[in-house]
Amino acid sequence: MDQDNKDIKRSEGTQSGRTRRRREQVISVAQKLMKERGYDAVSVNEVAEIASISVGGLYRYIGTKSDLLEMICDEINLGVIPEMRKAAAAQTDQADKLRAAFSVYWNRVWDYASSISVAYREYIHFPEEFKQRHTKEQADIANTFAEIIRSGISDGTFAEVDAYVLSYQMLLLSHIRVLKGWALREYDKMAIFEENIQLVLARLRLK
């Protein structure tokens, strides 16, 4: 590669990194403001000002104000299923596969609890198309758990259960910090994780 092409590639990489950081800044500001005051009390102009970006620049990332909510939520599940599958594939025992996949999702939800809290509260403001996409993303995550559970049932590792129902119970358990975080402030996240994975494995344990 000649020097001119190297310079172009370096410039493209710098621009890409700058764009990504700017997007992350916009998401961080929008999430903070909406958590503090709610969707209706936050303006696009305010987000742009606090994020140190022009309103015109902000509209490079969004078409409408509700797109800010979509940006917040898109970050939550971005790449999580491949991470879950990779973690599960690194294990041989079915229980360890389920634990590994659950741990990935658990940590993702724990780390993005504030954003998820905003999504719960402001769900009414999402466009219908996004609601449908979000529902599918949740179904795909649940199905990742269900696939491991069904595989364990098939090879005799796990007891017969309704894998669909249990997989959605795992989603709900993962959201415990969002739903009941006020009651768990004194607890370590992995201690809570261990309690919850043991609940799941107890249900799957052969009698």
Structure confidence at residue 16 as a pLDDT band (50, 70, 90): low
Which of 9-13, 180-184, 191-195 comes out lowest in average pLDDT? 9-13
Tell me: the pLDDT tens digits for 131-187? 999 899 999 999 999 999 999 999 999 999 999 999 999 999 999 988 888 888 888
Residue 179 to residue 152: CA distance in whole angstroms: 30
Return the sign of the alpha-carbon dihedral for residues 106, 112, 117, 118: negative
The residue type at 85: R
Would you give the DSSP letter of residue 39?
A: G
The CATH superfamily of 3-63 is: Homeodomain-like (1.10.10.60)
Q: Is the pTM of this model over 0.75?
A: yes
The Cα diameter of the chain in Å comes to: 68
> 65-98: per-residue pLDDT in tens?
888 888 888 888 889 999 999 999 999 999 999 9
For the chain, give every residue range classified as CATH 1.10.357.10: 73-204
73-204 is classed CATH 1.10.357.10: yes
19 pLDDT more than 80: no
Could you tell me if 71 and 62 are in contact, meaning their C-beta atoms sit under 8 angstroms apart?
A: yes
User: DSSP letter at 186?
Assistant: T
Mean pLDDT over each residue of the chain, to the nearest integer: 88
